[in-house]
Structure 1
Amino acid sequence: MAEPQDTSPRRGLWPWIFLALSALPAAWYVLAYESAVDPEFPRVERRTYNTYPPAAYRLAEAGDTIDCVAVYVSSAALMLAAWGCLRDPRRGLRWAALALSAVAFWHAATPGPLSNGWHGLGWRTMFDSAVPAPQRLALAACALTALAVVILGARPWNVRALLADAKARGVLGLIAVAAVLVVVRQLPMIDREPFGYWPRWVYVWGMLAWAFAMLRLAPRAEGGRRKAIIAALIVASVGLDFVGRGIFWYQRPIGRLREIIPGQLYLCAMPTYAGLQLAQPRYGFKTIINLFPEFTDARSPHWPDEQRFARENGIALHTQSPDDPIGIRSIPETLEIANDPANWPVLVHCHASMDRSPAWVGMYRFAYQGWPLDDVIREIEQHRGSRPKSSVTLLYNRMLPRLAAERAAADPTLREFREFAAGTPDPLEELLARQAEREATRR
């Protein structure tokens, strides 16, 4: 006997409306620029140097907001598919849907690319000859198991009947869209500036379509247990989301880790001891430069652990000295340390990798690699996900002439920076001038 047709609102157009609305944030982040006013130094002019708003480049980073959304949506789809198997275990297609949902969840939790040759746990790892054979075999076994469940669950393999059944249940279009988008996400040809941005959005949209299909196919929770079952599914989905984030953390155990120069220089947020334990065998850092003034009350709670890890692993650890509170000496010293091949690979960080670290990398690019300041600011915007603060304009006006006088004098963007800061005195430059006066008086 055929199952009764579902005439509930779940069969309406709302999934398609929601999918269309989900495209709006993607368009917003490549069209809308943030306010140029910095409340710290409101008179300093700022402009964007990239083609698109800086936030779009940050979202394109593996593991940032877009990937987090994909993990959450795919975890919801997986829980809905599992609920269907619990209520109707004899129906093979439900097990096929569960296997596909599990594969989609794993792919969402293992986004690429990864840096420094670390192979990660994604599906491409199976074909990477540099990956240990046991790991490749384990991933291949999981993939073959999922494929077997899908094939067996779809028996008797009557394509026409399967399509008719999906259409009758109101999920044919959603499943087709999900399949197309998931395949398209794997194609390199869709990746355009900001690189990584559109493929990640495509996968989110594919997961949304799949999750809506799983919702339409999910058996109804009836009776007095309805609210309890819905609550349990939500809790289980959130729990699975944490599992996905844990898988992601294993792949990228240090927050906002970026490969600046392969094998030489890496940028990140404040690492934890556990994160360093996972990352060190992969990267083999010889030197860590902590740019935050940890001698202040704003020190990180992870600072003692970082010191301990460095001691235990023979890593040279450098940070700002209390007798150099404005960093006038520590900046050129740490830049010199990072430029010495004997210290490579070098890990540079502050607390959030939003201000000090990207600005420091910009000074390294300018002073030691000869980058024009225009290119430097483009990269900083991508690291930060927003315009550099006005304090960076003042910092570069103060430090770049000290680090590379001739290039600073000839760089057109630095001349522009001076014009941007016209009328805004640099408080640290004034402090340096007062210190110089006091020293001259003592002499």
Structure 2
Amino acid sequence: MLPTELLQFRVKAGLVEPRRLRPTTANLNLAADLIGVFEDHLGKRRWELDEAIRALEVGRQDFKTVRALAHLLTGMGTFEAGGHVDPVHVRAKVFELAQAHVPSRRQTPHLLEQAARALSSGSPLSAADVASSLYADLSDQQTLVTFEPPAALELIHRYDLAQAQGMLYRAYSLVITARRNEPARYKQLLKYLKFFGLMVTVEGDAEFGFTLTLDGPTSLFGSTTRYGLAMAKFLPALLHVTKWDLSAALKPRKDLSWVDPGDDEWSFQLTSEDGYVSHYAPPSEHDSALESGFAERFAKLQTTWTLEREVDLVPVPGGVILPDFRIKRGDASVLVEIVGYWRPEYLRKKFELLRKSGRQDVIVCVSERLNLERAGVNPSDFGERVVWFKGVLHPRDVLAVAERMTGP
């Protein structure tokens, strides 16, 4: 992400619009030049890299764009203290030896040679090695040791997304309307919500869409931006959900001279059609071998039923259910939830949510290998909608239950 001073945006009628870079020849060339600078400075000190970046800024009015692109590239590299000896140990030895001499620049070469002899173990050190290691752990003295160069267009996509993320730093509420999606997309979405400590309330239905409401820093933590930063980190995960709209309420920045002092609130709007690109890895199609095996076996059946991965969220008081599959035949539709190999606390929550949902159209497939007694759950609560299986979940067993539930 970008620091606040590198965010560029405009506000029109209370609506915040982050700056985006069009993939013009000039912008692609700028991105390529910066990537080349980083590649040329592998193995060199950070201060040398910083000087090369500043040279690219000379005479440019868009110097903030240069700095923002460079900041993103910095996150794609690794900086470490150079040399073969820990700088902390080098400084300790040099300062220890210096105590025995009257301060004098003429003593410096002698001190460095003494320190080199004292610190040598295995391969010998020179006075120059000691001098280069003395402050090698300071930020500007660190060495760029690895760098994974992106394509120029990829860097521009990262810039656009980073500017959008920056709009959420000061968000105090965020509402997402999610349409029908693959369960893997929803599951990744909810996984990241939990990972970043975001609290969400899910409401709605398949016909009108599901609304996910997130509280922000003003309502929870006063003026801190900690929660807003978490929302910003969450945004790349949202991009993997195929159909959604986002609306965020922001606290206006009063530190900018061009901001209308009468503004009480800004709004930031985003949709899945805006063309932002995520750098987070996309979720796998199936969460487990159980699911993928079930889908493969179902595809080989000669049946009038069809299997769908595109399943709706099922909001439940205290949580949400994401069924693994939907099987359909004409107007008949049944959800399929596979409960495989999980910890007792997960099982307890899973079955509690299934009970709370009150849904009578969910087939619950339960592995006989689970220690349900230890988890304190009783699948018999779901009556004839339970399908027991051992190592393999057979689609014919599930379809037999679906037939009973929906009729011939």
In the superposition, the TM-score normalised over structure 2's length comes to 0.29
TM-score under structure 1 length normalisation: 0.27
Q: Which has the higher strand share?
A: 2
Q: Which structure shows the bigger proportion of residues in helix conformation?
A: 1
